[in-house]
Chains A and B, each alone.
Chain A
Amino acid sequence: MATVTFVEHDGTAHEMDLVEGESLMQIATENAVPGIDGDCGGEAACGTCHVIVDDAWISKTGARTGQEIQMLDMTPECEANSRLACQVIACQEFDGLRVRLPEFQM
């Protein structure tokens, strides 16, 4: 089974089964990964599912776009590879993907 790993700010890793077609936010919240809120339900409207994609993976997931940029721009922890997990839709190619969580969700 393909997996995706969420690494909390303190280093705790959570390896989850990857469900094709679901967003990383859905995978995280369905599995109660701490540190992903998803307050707006997946519309890039709240900025509370911020993740930072490992460098090795950014070409596969792609960079943030449009509304995501606007929301992430206000977060002090925003990095070059920051994304909103609700806008990253999982596919088989993501098997082994690692994303880090910021210390706080705004």
Chain B
Amino acid sequence: MHNKNSVLERTKTRLQTKVQATVPVERQVQAAHMVEKAKRMVGLNEPLVFTERPLPDAEDVPLTELDVSNPFLFRQGKWHSYFKRLRDEAPVHYQANSPFGPFWSVTRYEDIRAMDMNAADFSAEPDIIIGDVPLDIEMFIAMDPPKHDQQRKAVQGVVAPKNLKEMESLIRERVCEVLDSLPTDRPFDWVDRVSIEITGRMLATLLDFPYEERRKLTYWSDTISGIAEATGGSTHQDEFFEATADLARSFMALWHDKEARRQQGEAPGFDLISLMQGSEDTKDMIKKPLEFLGNLTLLIVGGNDTTRNSMTGGVLALNENPDQFEKLKANPSVIPNMVSEIIRWQTPLAYMRRVATRDLHFGGQFIRKGDRLLMWYASGNRDERQFDNPDDFIIDRANARNHMSFGFGVHRCMGNRLAEMQLRILWEELLERFDDIKVIGEPEHVQSNFAKGYSKMMVQLTPKSDA
């Protein structure tokens, strides 16, 4: 059985290498899809399906059986106690039998930072989520130096502070449009009307993607990052392949359209694709479609889930801590620090995965070459060794900026300043308009071990009395 599987895998890899340059990328995605379907038919590949059951309390589970890869851990609010137990009793913890295979969890702040800094011993290749994506798309978040550095440098300009300065007024305009259209006489879904809307508009702008089709970006991003095999989400493989092929088709067309316009003498824009076409390192990326697709996916997912869930999380945190809301209204100059605290408190991406490149000792454990390790930022951000009262949301927390949600080392989030700017502007404009943003009922959480997110959160706005 294993043999047949590796034959199919080898065939897939060989085909992908051979056809990279000649076959349209959506055909390649379809071909990979057919291989996976064939595997399924002969019983080599059983798609993962997760069924939600109530999780036991952390103290009722034997330490070796604690499985923090469970995609319902966040939804059921058990993650605080699970990770606290790991931090205290097994800071480098081995789980031998997860649905994703065996993996290590690293849960203390200092250990995570040390690991994130050590790209030589802990490789980001081939993927940064716990499971395997059934398509070999290549993205620089999952590449090691020096290839990582080249590709990242080519595109980071689009979200670099220099570009952002030019964009601040545009971002504010977009935020104001969204906020001014919100109802104040009835409850509405904050996730759909605000968090998705603002991040979708920004992403469409950065990619120069057709503005009225921006919800496609959200759909692709959610579908791709929600694949069951990779993050325990609810996306079926078939849906994943269809979404990926659709995304590939759209962006190949966008690339060719831009190239044609450039050849006709049109000045290149300052969007992502124009930047890629203008850089020596990436101008031919279209010839390596899986790399092209990978890096686009990275930027779409990276710019979508993260800021969106921090936009929702901030409102939730202030509702759970009304004294902090009062503090904020009394002193809006605390907003920039509060933005860091929101990003710490929310930690929209719970972890990044690494693979040991050699046998080594880490945190008192013996790690073998090839072992998977997860750096749990969500736990490091609640590590009482680093943050006082880590579960409290304190908008003027002195060391809020030291949060690890952006990661450390060469893979540190390149969109960090854009994310901070979007959140800062959102809160500045919210305080201008509203006295209260009341969360109604419980928010709905996304099924995932990777994205700490919300699918729905009803709120009721109270306009400012003097506005």
In the complex, what residues of A have CB within 8 A of residue B113's CB?
40, 43, 45
Chain A CB within 8 A of B417 CB: yes
The distance in angstroms between the C-alpha atoms of A105 and B401, with both chains bound, is 13
Q: Give the chain A neighbours of B2 by CB distance below 8 A.
A: none
Question: A58 at interface (Cβ–Cβ under 8 A)?
Answer: no
* Stretch of A16-24, A67-75, A85-93 lying at the B interface: A67-75
Which residues of chain A are within 8 angstroms of B116 by Cβ–Cβ distance? 45
Smallest CB separation, A31 vs chain B (Å)? 15
Choice from A37, A46, A76, A103 contacting B408 with Cβ under 8 Å: A46
Let me know if A73 and B162 touch, CB within 8 A. no
Known A-B contacts A40-B113, A47-B412; the reply to A106 vs B417 at CB < 8 A is yes
Q: What separation, in Å, do the CA atoms of A38 and B403 have in the docked complex?
A: 11
Contact partner of A74 among B152, B162, B406, B416, CB < 8 A?
A: B152
Interface membership of A41, Cβ < 8 A: yes
How far apart are B52's CB and chain A's nearest CB, in angstroms? 37
Whether A74 pairs with B161 at a CB distance below 8 angstroms is no
- Is A39 located at the chain interface by the 8 A CB criterion? yes
Contacts of B161 in A (CB 8 A): 103-106
Indicate if the CB atoms of A70 and B410 lie closer than 8 Å: yes
Contact of A41 among B162, B399, B410 (CB under 8 A): B399
Question: Considering residues B145, B162, B410, which has the most beta carbons from chain A within 10 angstroms of its beta carbon?
Answer: B410
Which 9 residue pairs across A and B have the least CB separation, nearest first? Answer: A104-B161, A45-B408, A41-B402, A39-B401, A45-B117, A40-B408, A45-B113, A70-B410, A45-B409
B307 CB → nearest A CB, Å:
17
Assess whether A43 is in contact with B156, with CB atoms less than 8 Å apart: no
- Residues of chain A contacted by B157 (CB below 8 angstroms): 76
Interface centre among A37, A43, A46, A104 (most CB of B within 10 A): A46
CB distance from A33 to the nearest CB of B (A): 15
Question: Are A40 and B410 in touch, CB under 8 angstroms?
Answer: no
Q: Provide the B411-430 mask, 1 if CB < 8 A to any CB of A, else 0.
A: 01010110000000000000
Q: Which residues of B contact A43 (CB under 8 A)?
A: 113, 117, 408
Contact A104 B162, beta carbon cutoff 8 Å: yes
Chain A residues with CB under 8 Å of B406's CB are 39, 46
Chain B residue at minimum C-beta to C-beta distance from A39: B401
B147-192 residues at the A interface, CB under 8 angstroms: 149, 152-153, 156-157, 160-162
Contacts of A41 in B (CB 8 A): 399, 402
Q: Compute how far the CA of A106 lies from the CA of B407 in the bound complex, rounded to whole angstroms.
A: 13
User: How far does the alpha carbon of A74 sit from the alpha carbon of B399 in the complex, in Å?
Assistant: 25
Where chain B touches its partner, the secondary structure class is helix
Are B412 and A67 closer than 8 Å at their CB atoms?
Answer: no
Size of the chain B interface, CB-CB below 8 angstroms: 23
Residues of A within 8 A of B402 (CB): 39-41
Interface residues of A in 12-61 (CB under 8 A from B): 37-41, 43-47
- Roughly how many angstroms separate A58 CA and B412 CA in the complex, as a whole number? 28
Residues of B within 8 A of A47 (CB): 412
Q: How far is the CA of A36 from the CA of B417 in the complex (A)?
A: 14
A-B contact pairs, 14 of them (CB 8 A): A39-B401, A39-B402, A40-B408, A41-B399, A43-B113, A45-B117, A45-B409, A70-B409, A74-B149, A103-B161, A103-B162, A104-B162, A105-B161, A106-B160
Shortest distance from the beta carbon of A82 to any chain B beta carbon, whole Å: 15
B339 CB, nearest partner CB in chain A, Å: 13
Residue of A nearest to B340 (CB): A39
Question: How far does the alpha carbon of A34 sit from the alpha carbon of B298 in the complex, in Å?
Answer: 32
- Tell me whether B117 and A74 are in contact (CB under 8 A): no
B162 engages A76 (CB within 8 Å)? yes
Which B residues lie within 8 Å of A73 (CB)? 149
B412 touches which of A37, A46, A103, A104 (Cβ 8 Å): A46
Known A-B contacts: A41-B399, A45-B113, A71-B410. Give 15 more (CB < 8 A): A39-B402, A43-B117, A44-B117, A45-B409, A67-B117, A70-B409, A73-B149, A74-B153, A74-B156, A76-B157, A76-B160, A76-B162, A104-B162, A104-B417, A105-B161
Q: Tell me the bound Cα distance from A47 to B401 in angstroms.
A: 13
> What are the residues of chain B within 8 A of A70 when measuring CB–CB?
145, 409-410
| A104 contact set on B, CB distance < 8 A | 160-162, 417
Name the residue of chain A whose CB is nearest to the CB of B412: A46
Q: How far is the CB of A34 from chain B (nearest CB, A)?
A: 12
Nearest to B152 among chain A residues (CB) is A74
Q: What CA separation (Å) do A37 and B156 show in the bound complex?
A: 20
Contact partners of B401 in chain A: CB under 8 A: 37-39
Within 87-134 of B, Cβ neighbours of A (below 8 Å) are at 113, 116-117
Residues of A within 8 A of B408 (CB): 40, 43, 45-46
- What separation, in Å, do the CA atoms of A70 and B162 have in the docked complex? 21
What separation, in Å, do the CA atoms of A46 and B409 have in the docked complex? Answer: 6
In angstroms, Cα B162 to Cα A106, docked, is 10
Which residues of chain A are near B145, meaning CB under 8 Å?
A: 70
Q: How far is the CA of A103 from the CA of B156 in the complex (A)?
A: 16
CA A96 – CA B156 in complex, angstroms?
A: 36
0/1 string, B273-303, CB within 8 A of A gives 1? 0000000000000000000000000000000
Q: How far does the alpha carbon of A38 sit from the alpha carbon of B152 in the complex, in Å?
A: 22
Q: Could you say which of B145, B156, B160, B412 has the most chain A C-beta atoms within 10 Å of its C-beta?
A: B412
